[in-house]
C-alpha cells in the first residue's frame, strides 16, 4: 500500500508564475513532512519541511502547506525559475514506524 | 566537507553475480538507509540501520543484504536472488533523534546484462 501519493507525474509552468506540487498521505499518525528536489543522476536534496503541529512553513520562494484534516501536503514555489526544473518528492516520517515514506515524484518543468 | 559518498557510480553485472555497493558518510549520523528508485516510482526502502551492528529490513529487502560494522559505513550487497536488480540505488543518512532530513549520496546505477 502506498502511504504517500503524488498523483501528478509532471507539471509545466511558465517562468515567474507559481508552481504548486501536491501530495496526499494515508496515515494521520505521520509526524513530519518533507520535500526533496532531485536532478537526473543525482541524489535528492532536502528542500523544506514541516512538522505535524504546524500548517505552514516558508523559506524564501518555497512554502509548504499542511492540511491535516484532508491529509494533504503542498509545495508552492513562487516565482518559479528555470533552475527549479527537477523532480520533487514528498516524504513523510513516522516515529511509530521509525522510517520515511516517499511519494513517486512530480517532474516540474519551468519554461523560460 | 561532510557528506555521503557512494561508489561506484555506474556498475554492470552479469546475471547470477553478487555485487556490493559502497556507502560512506562523515556526518557522524547514527542512521543510514538504502533506497531503490525505479522509473515512475518513489524511493523504496531496502534496509535501514539506526545504530552500529543493527539493521532492519525495509519494504523490499528480498535479494539484498547489508552490514553495519562501523558508524560511517553501510554497504549493500545485491545478490543473485534479486530478480530485477537493474535500478538506481541511493544511500542516505540522518540523525537518529530528533528526526532531521535525510542526506543522500549521488547514487549508484546498477545494470544487469
pLDDT in tens, A10-64: 999 999 999 999 999 998 889 899 999 999 878 899 999 999 999 999 999 999 9
Residue range B56-74: mean pLDDT, rounded? 96
- Extract the C-alpha cell encoding B85: 536488480
Query: CA–CA separation, A77 vs B79, rounded Å?
Result: 42
Judge whether residue A65 has pLDDT over 60. yes
| pLDDT above 90 coverage of chain A, percent | 81
| Contact with chain B for residue A31, Cβ under 8 A | yes
Name the nearest CA neighbour of A60 among A47, A46, A70. Answer: A47
What is the model's pLDDT at position B52? 94
> What is the distance, to the nearest Å, from the Cα of residue A60 to the centroid of all Cα atoms in its chain?
15
Which of B45, B91, B101 should we substitute to test contact with A (largest number of A Cβ atoms within 10 Å)? B101
Give the range among A80-84, A96-100, B54-58 with minimum mean pLDDT. A96-100
pLDDT band at A1 (very low <50, low <70, confident <90, very high): low
Cell 530528533, residue located: B98
What is the model's pLDDT at position B82? 87
Are the beta carbons of B80 and B21 closer than 8 angstroms?
no
What is the model's pLDDT at position B80? 87
Residue-wise pLDDT for B10-50, tens only, equals 999 888 899 999 999 999 999 999 999 987 778 899 999 98
What is the model's pLDDT at position B19? 94
Residues of chain A neighbouring B102 (CB-CB closer than 8 A): 34, 36, 44, 46, 91, 100
Using the 8-state DSSP alphabet, how is residue A42 labeled? S
Name the nearest CA neighbour of A23 among A5, A41, A50. Answer: A5
Among the partner-chain residues A6, A49, A95, the one whose CB lies closest to the CB of B101 is A49
A residues 42..81 contacting B (CB < 8 A): 42-46, 49
Question: Mean of the per-residue pLDDT values for chain B?
Answer: 91
Among the partner-chain residues B42, B48, B107, the one whose CB lies closest to the CB of A43 is B107
Residues of chain A neighbouring B101 (CB-CB closer than 8 A): 34, 46, 49
Higher pLDDT, A74 or A100: A74
Which of B7, B42, B100 should we substitute to test contact with A (largest number of A Cβ atoms within 10 Å)? B42
Residues of chain B neighbouring A104 (CB-CB closer than 8 A): 40-42
Using the 8-state DSSP alphabet, how is residue A83 labeled? G
Would you call B101 and A6 a contact, using CB atoms and an 8 Å cutoff? no
What is the model's pLDDT at position A2? 74
Are the beta carbons of B14 and B78 closer than 8 angstroms?
no
Question: Mean of the per-residue pLDDT values for chain A?
Answer: 93
C-alpha angle B33-B38-A51 in degrees, rounded to nearest 5: 50
What is the model's pLDDT at position A40? 85
Residue range B50-74: mean pLDDT, rounded? 95
What is the model's pLDDT at position A100? 86
Residues of chain A neighbouring B41 (CB-CB closer than 8 A): 104
Three-state secondary structure of chain B: CCCEEEECCEEEECCCCCEEEEEEECCCCCEEEEEEECCCCCEEEEEEEEECCEEEECCCCCCEEECCCECCECCEEECCCCCCCCEEEEEEEECCCCCCCCEECCCEEEEEC
Judge whether residue B72 has pLDDT over 90. yes
Amino acid at each position: 500500500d502506498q502511504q504517500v501519493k503524488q498523483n501528478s507525474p509532471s507539471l509545466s509552468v511558465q517562468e515567474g508564475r507559481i508552481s504548486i506540487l501536491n501530495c496526499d498521505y494515508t496515515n494521520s499518525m505521520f509526524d513530519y513532512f518533507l520535500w526533496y528536489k532531485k536532478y537526473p543522476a543525482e541524489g535528492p536534496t532536502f528542500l523544506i519541511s514541516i512538522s505535524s503541529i504546524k500548517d505552514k512553513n516558508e523559506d524564501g520562494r518555497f512554502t509548504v502547506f499542511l492540511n491535516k484534516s484532508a491529509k494533504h501536503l503542498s509545495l508552492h514555489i513562487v516565482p518559479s525559475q528555470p533552475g527549479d526544473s527537477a523532480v520533487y518528492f514528498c516524504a513523510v516520517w513516522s516515529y511509530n514506524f521509525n522510517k520515511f515514506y516517499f511519494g513517486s515524484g512530480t517532474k516540474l518543468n519551468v519554461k523560460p | 566537507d561532510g557528506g555521503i559518498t557512494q561508489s561506484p557510480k555506474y556498475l554492470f553485472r552479469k546475471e547470477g553475480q553478487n555485487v556490493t555497493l559502497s556507502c560512506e558518510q562523515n556526518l557522524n549520523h547514527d542512521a543510514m538507509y538504502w533506497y531503490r528508485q525505479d522509473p515512475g516510482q518513489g524511493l523504496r526502502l531496502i534496509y535501514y540501520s539506526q545504530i552500529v551492528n543493527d539493521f532492519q529490513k525495509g519494504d523490499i529487502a528480498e535479494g539484498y543484504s547489508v552490514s553495519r560494522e562501523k558508524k560511517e559505513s553501510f554497504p549493500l550487497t545485491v545478490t543473485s536472488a534479486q530478480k530485477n536488480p537493474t535500478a538506481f540505488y541511493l544511500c542516505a543518512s540522518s540523525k537518529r533523534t530528533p528526526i532531521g532530513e535525510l542526506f543522500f549520496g549521488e547514487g549508484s546505477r546498477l545494470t544487469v546484462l
